[in-house]
Amino acid sequence: MTAEQALQIWRSRLVKHGLDEVQRLAVKRPLQPRARRFIFLRHGETEGNARRLYQTPEIPLNPTGLEQARRAAAYLRAHPVERIVASDMRRAWQTAHAAAEIVGAPVIAEPRLRERWFGDLVGTPSHDLDWRHEPPNGESLRDFILRTQAGLVDALDTEVPTLLVAHGGPLYVLVFSLGADLLEQHIANATPLLFEFEAQTGRWRISNIVPEHVTAGYLTAAD
C-alpha cells in the first residue's frame, strides 16, 4: 500500500465514522505538551474487539491480545521509558503491566484516559460506530474530548520518558489535539507509536516502532 492509498483510507474513515467531528472539537483546544517525545500504546485485542462490540470496562485481553501486548512490550526495550500512564480499564491496565514487566517502569492509573462510555450501547454491535452520535445514557462527545484532553495535559507535563497506554478514542483525541497526521495502520491494537515533535517544521511526527509486518493482521476497529 502506498502512502497516498493509506491516506485516502484514513480520510474515508474520518467521514464514515464521524471522526471529522472529533477532530473539529479537539482542535479547538490544541495540546502543547511539555513532553517532546513519548510513546502511545493502544491495548491488545479483546473478545469485544474480535466480535465488534461496544465494551465494558472490565473486559480483559483475549489470548491474542495478551500475546500482542507481550510482543509490543519487547520492542519497547529499545526506547527509554521511565513512567507508564495508563487507563484503568482492564484491557489497558493489562497491556500497561505487560510493558512494565519489560521496561521496569511504574504504572500510574489515569482514569481520564478511559475509552468513551457508550452507555446503553455497551454489549451491542459497534460495526456502525459514529462518534457524532450521542449514546443513550452515555458520555457526550464534548465531555469525552474535554476529560481526555485534561488527562493528556497532566500525563505529558513532564520531560521524563513516558509511555501512555489507552484506547482508540483517546488516541484520536491525542492526534487531533496535536494537529498530527494519523494513518489506518496506526490505530491497530497493541501498536506502539512514537510521537516526536519536530522543531524545524513545528509539527508532530508519528511512527510505528514495530515492523509493519508484525502488526499487519491486527484489528483496527475502534473500541
Output the average pLDDT for the chain.
93
Res. 223 pLDDT band, cuts 50 70 90: very low
Using the structure block, give the residue that is written with the C-alpha cell 452520535: 133
Handedness of CA 60, 86, 114, 132 (dihedral sign): negative
CA–CA distance, 136 with 147 (Å, rounded to integer): 19
| pLDDT at 56 exceeding the cut of 60 | yes
Q: Strand 83-86 vs strand 203-208: parallel, antiparallel, or unpaired?
A: unpaired
Q: Dig out the grid coordinates for 57 from the structure.
A: 470496562
pTM of the model: 0.94
Query: Is the Cβ–Cβ distance between 33 and 145 less than 8 Å?
Result: no
The per-residue pLDDT for range 161-212, each reduced to its tens digit, is 999 999 999 999 999 999 998 887 788 999 999 999 999 999 999 999 987 7
Q: State yes or no: pLDDT of 59 exceeds 90.
A: yes
Say if residue 69's pLDDT is above 70. Answer: yes
Cα–Cα distance, 13 to 174 (Å, whole number):
17
